Structure 1
Amino acid sequence: MIGCRPANTPIEQNHGLQESVGEVYCDRERYLKLVGKLIYLSLTRPDIAYAMHVVSQFMHSPKIPHMKAVERILRYLKTCPGKGILLRKNNRIEIEAYTDADWAGSVGDRKSTSG
């Protein structure tokens, strides 16, 4: 994907990815490897954490739209290489976080995806 067109966001707004939509993606191992590597990367790249949460829900049976979402994350990463959180060893640890519940954001079962 070196010559791909970059994306401005890691996932489409109102993506509507569901388990039952689309044809089965034939190369399941490739999907699993990519998602696994991106999950590891999301530790230092919180900007892709939500997108990784969404695509990792479909690891047991990935479909073509799910793979396209993973490819979009890769296209997004192309726009900002070298950015992320640098984890250094020091004596002081301080974490600030923000979260927001999405109230029935999962289209498939109408449950909250973030709690």
Structure 2
Amino acid sequence: MKDLGGLKYFLGIEVARSKQGIFLSQRKYVLYLLAETGMLDCKLANTPIVQNHHFVVHPDQVPTNRDRYQRLVGRLIYLSHTKPDIAYAVSVVSQFMHSPSEAHMGAVERILRYLKSSPGRGIMFSKNDHYRIEGYTDVDWAGNVTNRRFTSGYFTFVGGNLVTWQSKKQKVVTLSSAEAEYRGMAKGVCKLLCL
């Protein structure tokens, strides 16, 4: 075995250490992805997805290159390891892997334009004097236009540092927004109890 020194780069994740803590980002990976897709000179987007979007699969939709779509979404899923701000948008576009349209590809390109606005953004793990565990949840009741399922999301902090996050379309249809909120909180509480 050989000591290679402090970790700086591993599987596309850049690691920077300072007195304040450890910072993880995927800046090189973002720039590589933008260069590969020809979007280095693209117009910037303020948010990764449009507000109140209603993406569905239509029988008369204009199809797009499915292999390219799946490859891009797969890379965005990998990017969400250090970019929780794109987790919801990536979960939305990943629902259409089987039958993507030009509208869905436009949503993927918007995520890329958002990444262009801040390629070096990542996660900071700071040194703190406490180890409190905190969690936050949110749901989108009946947000899916096709089947009225809801999307729930949570993120948890340990010692003031973000450690887990998830955004996922649920398998059930809830009858009220209160039921959706309770189900979303149950998922978040399960993760908190696990931590």
Letter paired with 1:14: N
* In 1: Cα distance, 2:123 partner to 2:132 partner: 13
Q: What TM-score, normalized to structure 2?
A: 0.52
Residue 53 (1) aligns with residue 91 (2): yes
- Is 1:23 equivalent to 2:62 in the alignment? yes
Instruction: Report what 1:111 is aligned to.
Output: 149
Match of 1:102 among 140, 149, 169: 140
Moved more, 105-114 or 73-82: 105-114
The structure whose Rg is larger is 2
Name the stretch that deviates more: 71-80 or 97-106: 97-106
Report % sequence identity.
61
SS at match of 1:85: strand
RMSD across aligned positions (CA): 2.0
Segments of 5+ residues of structure 1 without an aligned counterpart are 88-92
Question: Given residue 44 of structure 2, which amino acid in structure 1 is its aligned partner?
Answer: P
After superposition, give the CA deviation of every residue in 1:36-73 in whole Å (9 maximum; x if it has no partner).
00001001100000000000000011111000000000
The structural deviation recorded for 1:76 is: 0.2
Of residues 39, 45, 48, the one that matches 1:10 is 48
The structure whose RCO (Cα within 8 Å, separation 6+) is larger is 1
TM-score calculated relative to the size of structure 1: 0.86
Moved runs in structure 1, 4+ residues, more than 6 A?
Answer: none
**1:112 to 1:64, Cα distance in 2 relative to 1, 3 A:** same
Q: Distance in 1 between matches of 2:150 and 2:103?
A: 21
Gaps of 5+ in 2: 1-38, 126-130, 153-169, 171-195
> What amino acid is aligned across from residue 55 of structure 2 in structure 1?
L
Higher percent of residues as strand? 2
1:71-82 correspondence runs (5 A): 71-82=109-120
1:35 touches 1:55 (CA, 8 Å); kept in 2? yes
Q: CA deviation at 1:94?
A: 7.7
Q: CA deviation at 1:97?
A: 3.9
